[in-house]
Amino acid sequence: MAEAGAMSSERITLTINGATCELQVDPWTTLLDLARERLDLTGSKKGCDHGQCGACTMLVDGRRVNSCLKLAITLDGAEVTTIEGLAGPDGALHPMQAAFVEHDAFQCGYCTPGQIMSAVALVQEGRARSREDIREYMSGNICRCGAYTNIVDAIQDVLGSGSGEDGRAEEHQQGVAA
Ligand code: FES
Ligand code: FES
């Protein structure tokens, strides 16, 4: 009986893209499956489901994680941001999203949500200084289309402008929209 109890579902409170919700989750449900299958947030992709490709990258309490490896049950009280939560309330793209568009930093787009979430975290982490740094800190995000050069260009652009520091910089958005 004790073992059966240990496998029970639990109620957690999660703030996801600014909305707080209470959810009953099974112990084996990952954050990725919770988002995609129950919350209709299908932007984050399931590439490998083993922590190898980065397609499922989300921010949890401001840090990037492979959501396919994160059990939802461990996230009671956490704040999660997915690719759907990056744009402003008026739909204005986050500077990193705008830079990816501007630099044509995708082909099929499957890896793109994970690349962008990882890139947003990379800028906020404040460690990357050069293209080599960007390549190193983005090495957990695989692109089967090989769009790496343009991805690095996009990130370098945001890094150089400082517009990714607070997540959303108005001047940059206006500059891109202009
Ligand atoms: S799907 Fe999570 S790392 Fe590949
Ligand atoms: S754009 Fe196709 S996998 Fe990266």
Taking the centre of ligand 1 as the mean of its atom positions, its distance from the CA of residue 112, in whole angstroms, is 13
Q: Which of 97, 156, 169 is nearest to 128 (CA)?
A: 156
Give me the residue label for tokens 């652009």: 157
- pLDDT value at position 164? 64
Q: Which pLDDT score is estimated for 177?
A: 30
Closest ligand, as measured to the CA of 30? 1
Tell me the pTM. 0.89
Residues 12 and 44 in one domain: yes
Residues 106 and 80 in one domain: no
Q: Quote the pLDDT of residue 176.
A: 31
pLDDT at 162: 74
CATH number at residue 48: 3.10.20.30
Q: For 34, phi and psi rounded to 5 degrees? A: -60, -50
d(CA 97, CA 18): 19
According to DSSP, the β-strands at 10-16 and 79-81 are: parallel
Number of structural domains the chain divides into: 2
Instruction: Give the pair of three-digit tokens for residue 102.
Output: 């501007």
Q: Are 153 and 110 contained in the same domain?
A: yes
Q: Compute CA distances 111 → 70, 105, 145, 165, 167, whole Å.
A: 19, 10, 9, 23, 20
146 lines ligand 2 (CB under 6 A): no
Residue whose token pair is 């401001």: 62
Query: Are 63 and 102 within one domain?
Result: no
Could you tell me if the CB of 54 is within 6 A of ligand 1? yes
Q: Give residue 95 CA to ligand 1 midpoint distance, Å.
A: 24
* Distance separating alpha carbons of residues 124 and 106, to the nearest angstrom: 22
pLDDT of residue 30: 98
- Per the listing, tokens 């919770």 go with 34
- Which residues of the chain, if any, have pLDDT below 50? 1-2, 4, 166-178
